[in-house]
A and B are shown apart, each in its own frame.
Chain A
Amino acid sequence: MNRLDISAARPTESVLSTNKLIKNTYILLSMTLLFSAVTAAASVMLNVPGWTYMASIIGAFLLIWLVLPRTAHSSTGLVVVFGITGLMGFGLGPILNMYLSMANGPQLVGTAMAGTGIIFLGLSGYALSSKRDFSFMGGFLVAGLLVVFMAILANLFIALPALQLAISAAVIMLMSGFILYDTSRMVNGGETNYIMATIGLYLNIYNIFVHLLSLLGALSGDD
């Protein structure tokens, strides 16, 4: 059977549970994004040092790897999700302060936020309405992610501005692909846990925002 026909042949019960999963995921995603914005604002106002970003990202990833898989099927998972997203939002403080100190900083941050929102809503809406199965992208996306990690690692030491721009562009494309992939996994039954689905989409949005801001900051006319 063609993969496109699977959703059409699914029983009503399965469709209802998919709709519930999608609804819960988007509600939780909205709440975590709002919470992230609050912790980011707090971090901007507190003017936290630059290493906060690194500490927050490492802390959040330790929670994602070690704690979330064990708690995602219980109500504790919700607390962990807010912990992860709050921490990642707090880590944005030094980056936002750096851009906000530029002459067109508020415009850059606002454009990156609005741009991220439009990209996410457009791609997620496309995946939801088309009901296509994007699972064939999985191998390509994860291989791309490994290549990006290696490029980031290399650029830590060689510090090429052009490579930084290429990495940011690649991350935006990869995360856009992951939005299609993750949304289609919810629609087609590949993901049944709304907490895990939320974290996946949150990470896509977070990475698009950070790298779009980096691209806009580097390529904007006003330095």
Chain B
Amino acid sequence: MDWTKIIWAVAIVAMILVLWPRAKQMMKDTPKAEKGDWQAVVLPLAFVVGFVILLIMLV
């Protein structure tokens, strides 16, 4: 097996372990979305999806 894969795997596991306590805390502390909040996110993200598809078609 390629040695770089093993180092990448160790690095990613370390990232997950470092991120895990912070992620748990963030998931606990995140305020609940109010009416219309997700709508305000979906619209710009739909723009990103459309824009990326356009770029793929251009190259």
> Chain A residues in contact with chain B, CB under 8 A?
2-4, 50-51, 54, 57-58, 61, 65, 104, 107-108, 111-112, 115, 118-119, 122-123, 126, 130, 132, 134-140, 142-143, 145-146, 149-150, 152-153, 156-157, 169, 172-173, 176-177, 180, 212, 215-216, 219-222
29 residue pairs bridging A and B, Cβ less than 8 Å apart: A3-B31, A4-B34, A50-B4, A54-B4, A54-B8, A57-B11, A61-B11, A104-B59, A107-B59, A111-B58, A115-B52, A115-B55, A119-B48, A123-B44, A134-B41, A135-B30, A136-B30, A136-B34, A137-B41, A139-B29, A142-B22, A143-B23, A149-B15, A149-B19, A150-B16, A153-B13, A156-B8, A156-B12, A219-B59
Whether A111 pairs with B30 at a CB distance below 8 angstroms is no
Decide if B44 touches A126 in the complex (CB within 8 Å). yes
Q: Please give the distance in Å from A199's CB to the nearest CB on chain B.
A: 15
Interface residues of B (CB under 8 A from A): 4-5, 7-9, 11-13, 15-16, 18-20, 22-23, 26-34, 37, 40-41, 44-45, 47-49, 51-52, 55-56, 58-59
Q: List residues of chain A with CB within 8 A of the CB of B19.
A: 142, 145-146, 149
Q: Which residue of A lies closest to B11 (CB)?
A: A58
A140 to B41, CA, bound (A): 12
A-B contact count (CB 8 A): 116
Contact of B23 with A172 in the complex, beta carbons under 8 Å = no
| A176 contacts B44, C-beta separation under 8 Å | yes
Q: Is the interface of A mostly helix, strand, loop or mixed?
A: helix
Q: Which residues does chain B contribute within 8 Å of A215, judged by CB atoms?
A: 52, 56
Note all chain B residues with C-beta closer than 8 A to A157. 5, 9
Known contacts A111-B59, A138-B29; can you find 4 more A-B pairs with CB under 8 A?
A: A136-B33, A146-B19, A146-B20, A216-B59
